[in-house]
Amino acid sequence: MAIRRVFHPVGAALGRTRTGGAVRALASMRGPLPDEDPPAVVGARYRGAARGRAPLADVWLPDGPGPHPSVVWVHGGGFAVGHRQMKPMRYLATACRRAGMAVLSFDYRLVFRGGRLDEAVDDVVAAVEWWAGQSHAYNLDAGRVALGGLSAGGCLMLLAAPRLQDRLAAAVSVFSLYDIAGLDRGPARLLGRLAAGPDPALRRARSPVAAAPLHRPLLVLHGTDDSLVPVAQAQAYVAQRQAAGLPTTARIYPGEPHAFFNVPQAPIAARAAADVTAWLRERLA
């Protein structure tokens, strides 16, 4: 309830998103990744079969004997598109692997492909629970696991994380959606309605802004020129956590857009990846 008190006074201005930002973000995911490390395992199943999307995951393993710290990444895509092998996932997996961490990236059920918000969140929980059971197989340190998400994946991560308090040491939220009611224009509005229901109040109540908070350290990254999710959403969420005494670090990047990991050649991608890996190495040491 405390999140709602802090967030609501700034009103709908924080929540409004622009469809053009989504179009640009999707377009920027095209093209090859110039330098990447391939996964050690492709297409592992992290739960039993369910209607819709196959529950497949890829694993990256760092050099050295371990036991390894690790991070589980949840891809973005507006709850309706995206996959575990999209460019931002491979870019971050490579960066984290080279920083000494094992990585899991997985597919989850999407709108029109087997589920809505609840099913997607359940898949995030299932993937992390499965990963915890793979400690021996991949020489993982079960006490040094982080969970991260991008955009809609960040929203799902924050909704799933409170159910995983005992599994996680830290979390990373990257240009995430904190209030699903903010999807209120054009196709984005339809996605919000399909994912979380037609009532704006219900969509807000089912958002990270109103969910039980994660008590583990959280890193928040956002650009000030994000035309899909206004930076004010991230700033209000950070302020709420800090006011509640929850460990929270913010990296706000002036002039940067949504989905800045989609273009690895851009300076912001390397800078943000370095911020993520340095923060994770410190928290997972």
pLDDT category at 185 given cuts 50, 70, 90 is: low
- Position 278 confidence tier, pLDDT thresholds 50, 70, 90: very high
pLDDT score for 18:
45
Confidence of residue 205 (pLDDT cuts 50, 70, 90): confident
Q: Where are the alpha helices (DSSP H) in the chain?
A: 2-7, 19-27, 87-98, 117-132, 135-138, 152-160, 186-196, 200-205, 231-243, 267-283
Per DSSP, the residues of 46-91 read -S---SSS--EEEEE--SSS-PEEEEEEE--STTTS--TTSHHHHH
Q: What is the pLDDT of residue 33?
A: 77
Length of the chain: 285
pLDDT of 180 reads 82
User: What are the Cα distances from residue 30, in Å, to 10, 87, 166, 252, 264?
Assistant: 36, 8, 37, 25, 11
Phi-psi region of 159 (alpha: psi -120 to 50; beta: other; left: phi over 0): alpha
- Cα gap 40→137, rounded to integer Å: 12
Sign of the CA dihedral running 156, 208, 79, 278 = negative
d(CA 274, CA 128): 24
Query: Into how many domains does the chain fold?
Result: 1
Mean pLDDT of the chain: 86
> Is residue 2 over pLDDT 80?
no
| Of 278, 276, 282, 281, residue with least CA distance to 148 | 276
Share of the chain above pLDDT 90, in %: 70
Residue 3 has pLDDT above 80, yes or no: no
Using one digit for the tens of pLDDT, what is the confidence trace for 72-111? 999 998 888 899 999 999 999 999 999 999 999 999 999 8
DSSP SS3 for 130: helix
Range of the domain at 222: 2-283
What does each C-alpha distance from 250 to 114, 175, 261, 283 come to in angstroms?
34, 11, 17, 15
Preceding amide of 264 cis, omega within 30: no
State how beta strands 102-106 and 170-174 pair.
unpaired
| pLDDT score at 219 | 98
Query: How distant is the alpha carbon of residue 271 from its chain centre?
Result: 18
Domain CATH number, residue 255: 3.40.50.1820
136: left (phi over 0), alpha (psi -120 to 50) or beta: alpha
d(CA 198, CA 72) in angstroms, rounded, equals: 31
CA–CA dist 184, 198 (Å, integer)? 11
Number of H helices, E strands in the chain: 10, 8
Mean pLDDT, to the nearest integer, of 185-197? Answer: 62
Q: Residue 138 — very low, low, confident or very high, per pLDDT cuts 50/70/90?
A: very high
pLDDT at 179: 87
Q: How far apart are the first and last CA of the chain?
A: 33
